Amino acid sequence: MEFRLAQKTDLPKMMAMIDTAKISLKAAGVDQWQKGYPDGEVLLSDFTQQVSWVAVQDGEPVGMITILSGIEPCYHTIYDGAWLNDEPYLSLHRVCVDGARKGQGIAGFLFSQAEEIARQQGIISLRVDTHPENVPMNRAVKKAGYLYCGRITLIGSLEHGDVRAAYQKIIK
């Protein structure tokens, strides 16, 4: 499997992955990604910033992840717990796998590649959040070795005010 920066030509496949995930989340009664976020505008912004990555198999994107450095404003305050450290971190967002390829280790591959990027930047800490009831994502995050740290509240997006389970991993 290849891991590379997303390209604008990947946008239709990436939006299809997101749309399928939105349908699956809604069917499971999870309100994550049900308010119009993420959309094409968000993905285009990620392209411009060169923070959107894809896992590619047989020439097609099969998974995606956004990897951001710097302070994530919604991670400033954590409830019912604490972050593992206050060191610089990468934050992982918009993790999504092609619905037809779930269960093939693609999410784990995305997380391992994010860790490699962190190592290259000399960063030992990664943070990620997801809806508390998004069972597949919570499972994938824990399987990748992330520890539950508490709850955060989203700010500055269409999901402003929504609560998320917050995770962190310290790598060596």
We report the CATH number of the domain holding residue 149 as 3.40.630.30
Say yes or no to pLDDT of 131 above 90.
Answer: yes
Q: What is the pLDDT of residue 53?
A: 98
Q: Which of 37-46, 79-88, 134-143 has the lowest mean pLDDT?
A: 37-46
Domain that residue 51 falls in: 2-170
Q: Is the separation of the CB atoms in 64 and 47 below 8 Å?
A: no
Q: Is the separation of the CB atoms in 99 and 20 below 8 Å?
A: yes
Q: What is the pLDDT of residue 156?
A: 81
Query: Which tokens belong to 20?
Result: 């399928």
Q: Rounded to two decimals, what is the model's pTM?
A: 0.95
Nearest alpha-carbon partner for 32 in 161, 154, 130, 100: 130
Q: Is the separation of the CB atoms in 63 and 103 below 8 Å?
A: no
Residue appearing with tokens 């269960």: 103
Q: Is the separation of the CB atoms in 92 and 66 below 8 Å?
A: yes
Q: What is the pLDDT of residue 85?
A: 97
The sign one gets for the Cα dihedral 131, 137, 141, 147 is positive
Query: Which tokens belong to 130?
Result: 């997801």
Q: Is the separation of the CB atoms in 6 and 54 below 8 Å?
A: yes
Sheet holding 60-69, edge to edge: 2-5, 52-57, 60-69, 89-97, 125-130, 163-170, 147-153
Q: What is the pLDDT of residues 13-37, one digit of tens each?
A: 999 999 999 999 999 999 999 998 9
Residues 6+ apart with CB under 8 A from 18: 33, 38, 94, 96
Q: How many CB atoms lie within 10 A of CB 125?
A: 18
How many distinct structural domains can be found in the chain?
Answer: 1
Mean pLDDT of the chain: 95
Q: Is the separation of the CB atoms in 128 and 142 below 8 Å?
A: no
Query: Which tokens belong to 111?
Result: 């997380």
